[in-house]
Amino acid sequence: MAADVRAIIAALGGVDNVIEIEPCITRLRTEVYDASKVDQGALRAAGVHGVMLAGNVVQVVVGPDADTIASDIEEIMG
């Protein structure tokens, strides 16, 4: 399963919208500033298994590569 890291960031509302990303085995727990900027359809199109939105926390289910994807995202975010 190869999720598109750049597409995930864009679907989360871009680098400036992301406060924190924490990987947990199969998912990314992402805290965002503005949840209305999160595009769930675009996340699914980026190859993720599922998305759950609660308040300003977005859980992006990516499968067992969560650690790698999170560090790739952190690298891009600088």
Partner 1 sequence: MTTVLAPVAGTAIGLAAVPDPVFSQAMVGPGSAIDPQREPGQAVAPISGTIVKLRAHAYIVMGDDGRGVLVHLGIDTVQLKGEGFRPLAAEGDRVDAGQPVLFWNPAAVEAGGRSPICPVVALDAAAGAVNGEVRGGVGAGDELFQWS
DSSP character at residue 13: T
Min separation Cβ 36 and partner 1, Å: 21
Q: Which helix (H) or strand (E) holds 28?
A: strand 27-32
Which residues of this chain interact with partner 1, rule CB under 8 A?
A: 1, 22, 24-27, 29, 49-50, 52, 59, 61, 63-64, 67
How far is CA 63 from its chain centroid?
12
Given 1, 15, 19, 24, which residue is catalytic? 24
Q: How many CB atoms lie within 10 A of CB 16?
A: 10
Min separation Cβ 73 and partner 1, Å: 17
Which residues are designated catalytic? Answer: 24
